[in-house]
Chain A
Amino acid sequence: ILNVEQSPQSLHVQEGDSTNFTCSFPSSNFYALHWYRWETAKSPEALFVMTLNGDEKKKGRISATLNTKEGYSYLYIKGSQPEDSATYLCAYSYYGGSQGNLIFGKGTKLSVKP
């Protein structure tokens, strides 16, 4: 069974705190790892797509790293702001899977208090 695990399930931080969360996925047949941010009452928004071991991507205060050999990715948020409050989803795709078949984790729900 192909499973994507995200931890923690939820996180409450103060404005200005830096935070990080983890996405674990099967390391065999890895193809790509996606991160999405999903704010309440909006649609999921793509943050990053990573394919290479050791990849690091950055978008403003948010960055992500990828380790395909051990099957994990970290998402970092530096200096969290209330507008960062959202559920962060990771999704993995693999060689041999149906085209477009992203396997999602359950997400990490981040709440940032002003």
Chain B
Amino acid sequence: ETGVTQSPTHLIKTRGQQVTLRCSSQSGHNTVSWYQQALGQGPQFIFQYYREEENGRGNFPPRFSGLQFPNYSSELNVNALELDDSALYLCASSPGQGEQPQHFGDGTRLSIL
């Protein structure tokens, strides 16, 4: 089975720009969650998508938005990038609702100059 893949692995942007990060979920998984891990912190929940609908959101401003596609892959979009957005962005998929372990990708390292 194919695991969770994220692209790109690294990205450098400047303040005010926009970025799109991509995630392919594990085969058979219809739920995708996105997390931000800043240096020295644990991952922080951004939002979750279930069957193409947003299904929960953490404490992130509206300039963080997402999409899930019919094949359950997902995008995270961040507008008006700020220096504090520099972080590792992790995508995790799971096989539906209920308390399931999440399967993580390797992450995208985003640096804002």
Which residues from chain A sit less than 8 Å from chain B, CB to CB? 4, 31-32, 34, 36, 41-46, 48-49, 51, 89, 91, 93, 97-107
Contacts and interface: CB of A to CB of B under 8 A. Distances in A.
B90 interface: yes
A49 B99 contact: yes
Contacts of A104: 35, 42-44
Nearest to A103: B45
A46 B100 CA distance: 10
The residue in A41, A44, A93 that gathers the most chain B C-beta atoms within 10 A of its C-beta is A44
Interface residues of B, number: 31
Contacts of A89: 42-43
A46 B58 contact: no
Given A100-B56, A104-B42, 18 more contacts: A4-B42, A43-B3, A43-B105, A43-B107, A45-B104, A46-B101, A51-B99, A91-B42, A98-B45, A98-B58, A100-B31, A100-B33, A100-B48, A100-B102, A102-B33, A102-B43, A102-B45, A102-B102
Contacts, number: 74
B103 interface: yes
A32 B56 contact: no
Which 6 pairs, one residue from A and one from B, show the smallest C-beta to C-beta distance? A98-B56, A46-B101, A104-B42, A100-B48, A99-B56, A43-B104
Contact of B106 (A42, A48, A101): A42
B4 interface: yes
A58 to B, nearest CB: 15
Contact of A98 (B57, B97, B100): B57
A32 B99 contact: yes
A91 B90 CA distance: 15
A100 B47 CA distance: 8
A9 to B, nearest CB: 10
